[in-house]
Amino acid sequence: MRPQLLLRLAGAIVLGILGWQTGLILFDHFAVPYIQYIVAALGVCLGVLIAPTITIQPLGWAGDRIRQLPSHELLVGTIGLVIGLLIAVLLAVPLSMLPDPLGRLLPLITSLVFGYLGIGAARAHQRELLEILGRQPAGGTDGKLARRDGQYVILDTSAIIDGRIADISHTGFIAGTMLIPRFVLNELQHIADSPDVLRRNRGRRGLDMLNKLQKDSKVPIQISEVDAPEIAEVDAKLVKLARSLHAAIVTNDFNLNRVAELQGVRVLNINELANAVKPVVLPGEDMRLLIIQEGKEVGQGVGYLDDGTMVVIENGRRYIGEEIEVTVTRVLQTVAGRMIFAHPKVD
């Protein structure tokens, strides 16, 4: 027999009995024939209708929440609950001596209140409790994370695929734990399985970069099961997670960058970092440069610095394929990055 049908039958029996008792107690002095049968029948119908709603859905929600809890938080919550209930038991003895209905209600209310307060107090002092028990959680996989400013930086898919985060983390510039939610890994896997060759290669590169991060990074890497199941879009999940943890997001995605900043989330943009650490070049400085192609304007040549910055050399077209000394004339900062203009020093 299916669980839902069993629950409906159980609900019908329980509410039918309650209806029968209610009819006997409340309507006994009314001269209404068969009133207890009527109320009992209503209880049976109500039990059939609402039993799954008040049992399966709350139990499913509670089960999902418990599965998301890491073992150390479950342990702390259990300790707090036990302590709270022990205090409630001690108070229940004198409270039960009060006249009815206080003697029956107050012990129950006290148990609920102190159980809740015990869990809250234990979670507030979770770190100290775990240190006492010797169960301080390591940077592994979990389902729920503590909210501590600056403890986590969250990587999005674009930052992992880009690959430069592996080199950045190796230098030690990232502070805190690099957090990678499971839904980001799922998106990477989905991209790696794409029928489109370009997307598939990007996804596989992201998975390779993730392996490199886990092996070489000097910063702790943590894979988390934490999620926002009510939100479908990955970017929105990242923003909500970052807000709840007071964490920063590492990304190259312009749209995610803007949305996160609008919602007060700190963003670490790798492209902005790369532009910020490019060598400062001032007008009048000399440098050696390989001219590799002609520019857009007549007579121009184009070369690139080691960091990829474009250098436009006036009258440099005739030096294509040669490495020459050039003198910087001006430097422009554009939306796309920095652009340097120069002319051959030999002229």
What is residue 244's predicted lDDT score, i.e. its pLDDT? 82
Residues 162 and 221 in one domain: yes
- On whether residue 228 sits in a domain, the answer given is yes
Q: Which two tokens stand for residue 42?
A: 């209503």
Of the residues 275, 296, 324, the one at which a domain ends? 275
Q: Say how many domains are in the chain.
A: 3
DSSP string, 222-269: EEE----TT---HHHHHHHHHHHHT-EEEE--HHHHHHHHHTT--EEE
What is residue 26's predicted lDDT score, i.e. its pLDDT? 59
Among candidate residues 92, 58, 57, 62, the one with its CA nearest the CA of residue 77: 62
Q: Which two tokens stand for residue 310?
A: 């474009």
Query: Average pLDDT, stretch 131-151?
Result: 53
Q: Up-side HSE of residue 316: CA atoms within 13 Å toward CB?
A: 32
What is residue 280's predicted lDDT score, i.e. its pLDDT? 75
Residues 107 and 197 in one domain: no
d(CA 247, CA 269): 14
d(CA 226, CA 229): 9
- On whether residue 142 sits in a domain, the answer given is no
Residues 270 and 161 in one domain: yes
The CA distances from residue 142 to 67, 68, 221, in Å, are 10, 8, 12
Task: Report the Cα 79 to chain-centroid distance in Å.
Answer: 27
CATH number at residue 184: 3.40.50.1010
What is residue 137's predicted lDDT score, i.e. its pLDDT? 47
DSSP 199: H
Q: Which two tokens stand for residue 120?
A: 């809250």
pLDDT at 72 over 80: no
> Residue 340 sits in which domain range?
286-344
Mean pLDDT of the chain: 79
Residues 68 and 98 in one domain: yes
CB 277 within 8 A of CB 308: no
Residues 217 and 318 in one domain: no
Strand partners, 337: 334
- The size of the chain, in residues, is 347
pLDDT in tens, 295-321: 888 889 999 887 778 899 998 888 899
Helix (H, G, I), strand (E, B), or coil: what is residue 17? helix
Among candidate residues 255, 257, 258, the one with its CA nearest the CA of residue 268: 257
CB 191 within 8 A of CB 238: no
What strands, in cross-sheet order, belong to the sheet with 152-155? 221-224, 177-181, 152-155, 248-251, 267-269
pLDDT in tens, 182-229: 888 889 889 988 888 888 998 898 888 888 887 777 778 888 887 777
Residues 326 and 213 in one domain: no
Helix (H, G, I), strand (E, B), or coil: what is residue 102? helix
d(CA 201, CA 184): 17
**Phi and psi of 158, rounded to 5°?**
-65, -35
Point out the least confidently predicted range of 53-57, 233-237, 265-269, 335-339. 53-57
- On whether residue 145 sits in a domain, the answer given is no
d(CA 217, CA 210): 10
Among candidate residues 56, 74, 203, 189, the one with its CA nearest the CA of residue 126: 74
CATH number at residue 304: 2.40.50.110
d(CA 207, CA 160): 8
CB 238 within 8 A of CB 160: no
Q: What share of the chain is helix, strand, coil (3-state, %, to 5)?
A: 55, 15, 30
Residues 199 and 298 in one domain: no
Helix (H, G, I), strand (E, B), or coil: what is residue 303? strand
pLDDT at 279 over 50: yes
Does the global pTM surpass 0.75?
no
Q: Which two tokens stand for residue 86?
A: 């022990």
DSSP 302: E
Residues 218 and 184 in one domain: yes
- On whether residue 138 sits in a domain, the answer given is no
pLDDT in tens, 14-65: 766 776 666 666 555 555 556 666 767 777 777 666 666 666 666 666 666 6
Of the residues 251, 275, 299, the one at which a domain ends? 275
Residues 254 and 332 in one domain: no
Residue environment code for 122-143, b if the CB has 16+ CB neighbours within 10 A, otherwise e: beeebeebbeeeeeebeeeebb
